[in-house]
């Protein structure tokens, strides 16, 4: 038997349980109830947060991706002891650099954190005074060269360092724009895909011009695996810095990322990062567990059988399509995103809206409001479903729910 005092102590150690549940239960609660509650505490339920099935992909607002089990294990297994964070970052960085076949690497707070730190490194080098002053350094405002059509929301992470973005539209303009205020050139790898155009300055030419003028070139390839080869490709092309998100398809911690490339720049980026307290990156802390988690996620990603995984994803699109097509007029098409970002097999569903009388956005709403909650996208043609972030047992549920909602509109 657990004493009343012990019980109170136990309940008090769970803030909400202690406050709300204990008063509801009175002190009549059996020790059995208390212990099962502590073993399987459902925090989502406690706070009234409904979990969801993710049919939209690695969107940050949907919490990105689920960590691989081995990543959770890395986090758990490194959480019981202290270590020197500089040493953890250095040793993990060395291991990651070996895996990625490059000079140096570090773990950042996501690709966005990497964009800020990489730019900071390009500005300050190892200059201690500058590191402390950033973004208010003395002298003229520093400049980053970017193709006009590569401007995007994430260049805010670059602008955090105080730089001015200088837009160019051709190789000739790029050459002319570089001056002694220029600290870096930035290439948004998926710009052409999202913008529906060709890069006006291709990767090789962009790198060549940057090298000619001794400007570090940085490529943001945050969402650009699979294929895993992309992790190596941009270093091979000659970019000085590369970033990928840790929390997208690599399925590391959602708040982790990779920054890798030239050794002197990575060293400078580390000086601009936590745990240095007087640095622009102090607020971009990554704890030791996540640093290890990122490393293990990358190992696991590189070792995975990507062909088999692709086939599994294709199978998911077939499962959902087969269910949906039980509804009259529904047709399906597997769409493989051209990439480089989010290059996955996705599913497009369409129907004759005069027969199945529901608009795609209303199907989205019904799926969101249904049980369980399901998030998918819609477009002019119908529903657009991303299957890669579903758990295997959720695929059938999505198929069934889509069929139910569509057949109710027949």
248 and 293 Cβ atoms separated by less than 8 Å: no
Among 11, 112, 215, 363, binds ligand PLP (CB under 6 A): 112
239-263 CB burial, b ≥16 within 10 A, e <16: bbbbbbbbbbbbbbbbbbbbbbbbe
Q: Is 252 in the site for ligand PLP (CB under 6 A)?
A: no
Angle at the Cα of 336 (from 207 to 247), degrees rounded to 5?
65
Backbone φ and ψ for 392, nearest 5 degrees, come out as -50, -40
DSSP 105-174: EEEESHHHHHHHHHHHHHHHTT-HHHHHHTTS-SSSPPEEEEEGGG--TTHHHHHTTTPEEEEESSHHHH
Task: Cis check for the bond before 330: say yes or no (omega within 30 of 0).
Answer: no
Report in angstroms how near the CB of residue 125 gets to ligand PLP at its nearest.
24
Does 223 engage in binding with ligand PLP (CB under 6 A)?
Answer: yes
Cβ distance to ligand PLP smaller for residue 109 or 279: 109
Distance in Å, CB of 196 to ligand PLP, minimum: 16
* Candidate ranges 34-42, 104-112, 262-270, 273-281; the one touching ligand PLP (CB under 6 A): 104-112
CB of 109 to ligand PLP, least distance (A): 7
By the rule CB under 6 A, 111 interacts with ligand PLP: yes
State the minimum distance, in angstroms, from the CB of residue 139 to ligand PLP: 29
* Contact map string, positions 121 to 160, toward ligand PLP, x by CB under 6 A: ---------------------------------x------
CA distances from 239 to 99, 219, 265, 321 (A): 17, 7, 12, 41
Of 112 and 402, CB closest to ligand PLP = 112
What minimum distance in Å lies between the beta carbon of 356 and ligand PLP? 34
* 225 touches ligand PLP (CB under 6 A): no
Using the rule CB under 6 A, which residue among 55, 93, 110, 382 binds ligand PLP?
110
Instruction: Say how many C-beta atoms besides its own lie within 10 A of residue 106's C-beta.
Output: 26
Q: In the complex with ligand PLP, which residue's Cβ is closer, 110 or 399? A: 110
Alpha-carbon span 161 to 154, nearest angstrom: 13
Token couple for 123: 């500005």
Q: Could you say whether residue 216 binds ligand PLP (CB under 6 A)?
A: no
249 binds ligand PLP (CB under 6 A): no
Instruction: Round to whole Å and give the CA distance between 199 and 174.
Output: 13
Q: How far apart are CA 343 and CA 91, in angstroms?
A: 31
Q: What angle do CA 251, 307, 390 make, to 5 degrees?
A: 40
Binding positions for ligand PLP, 21-60, rule CB under 6 A: 60
226 in contact with ligand PLP (CB under 6 A): no
Point out which span in 2-10, 105-113, 176-184, 295-303 binds ligand PLP (CB under 6 A).
105-113
Pure H helices in 284-371: 288-303, 306-324, 360-369
Q: Which of 75, 222, 265, 295 binds ligand PLP (CB under 6 A)?
A: 222
Taking CB under 6 A as the binding criterion, the range among 106-114, 140-148, 171-179, 343-351 that sits at the site for ligand PLP is 106-114
DSSP string of 165-207? EEEESSHHHHHHH--TTEEEEEEETTHHHHHTS--SS-HHHHH
Q: Which is nearer to ligand PLP, 157 or 349 (CB)?
A: 157
Using CB under 6 A as the criterion, which residues of the chain lie in contact with ligand PLP when the complex forms?
A: 60, 110-112, 154, 190, 220, 222-223, 245, 247, 257, 341
């Amino acid at each position: 038997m657990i004493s009343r005092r012990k019980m109170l102590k136990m309940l008090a150690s769970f803030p909400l349980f202690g406050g709300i549940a204990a008063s509801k239960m009175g002190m009549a609660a059996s020790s059995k109830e208390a212990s099962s509650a502590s073993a399987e505490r459902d925090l989502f339920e406690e706070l009234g947060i409904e979990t969801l099935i993710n049919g939209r992909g690695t969107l940050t607002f949907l919490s990105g991706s689920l960590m691989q089990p081995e990543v959770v294990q890395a986090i758990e297994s490194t959480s019981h002891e202290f270590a020197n964070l500089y040493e953890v970052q250095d040793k993990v960085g060395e291991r990651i650099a070996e895996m990625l076949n490059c000079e140096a690497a570090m773990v950042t707070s996501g690709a966005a954190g990497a964009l800020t730190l990489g730019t900071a490194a390009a500005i300050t080098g190892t200059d201690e005074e500058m590191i402390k002053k950033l973004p208010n350094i003395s002298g003229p405002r520093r400049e980053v060269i970017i193709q006009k059509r590569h401007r995007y929301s994430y260049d805010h992470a670059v602008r955090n360092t105080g730089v001015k973005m200088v837009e160019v539209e051709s190789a000739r303009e790029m050459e002319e724009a570089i001056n002694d205020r220029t600290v870096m050139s930035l290439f948004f790898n998926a710009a052409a895909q999202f913008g529906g155009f060709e890069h006006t300055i291709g990767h090789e030419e962009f790198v060549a011009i940057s090298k000619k003028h001794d400007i570090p070139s940085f490529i943001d390839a945050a969402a650009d695996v699979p294929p895993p080869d992309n992790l190596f490709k941009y270093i091979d092309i000659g970019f000085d810095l590369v970033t990928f998100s840790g929390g997208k398809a690599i399925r590391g911690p959602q708040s982790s990322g990779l920054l890798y490339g030239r050794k002197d720049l990575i060293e400078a980026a580390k000086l601009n990062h936590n745990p240095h307290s007087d640095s622009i990156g102090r607020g971009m802390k990554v704890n030791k567990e996540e640093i290890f988690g990122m490393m293990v996620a990358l190992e696991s990603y590189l070792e995975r059988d990507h062909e088999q995984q692709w086939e599994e994803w294709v199978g998911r699109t077939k499962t959902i399509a087969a269910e949906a097509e039980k509804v009259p007029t529904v047709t399906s098409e597997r769409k493989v995103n051209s990439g480089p970002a989010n290059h996955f097999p996705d599913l497009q569903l369409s129907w004759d809206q005069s027969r199945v009388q529901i608009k795609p956005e209303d199907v989205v709403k019904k799926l969101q409001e249904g049980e369980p909650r399901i998030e998918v996208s819609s477009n002019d043609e119908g529903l657009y479903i991303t299957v890669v972030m579903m758990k295997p047992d959720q695929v059938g549920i999505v198929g069934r729910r889509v069929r139910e909602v569509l057949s109710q509109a027949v």
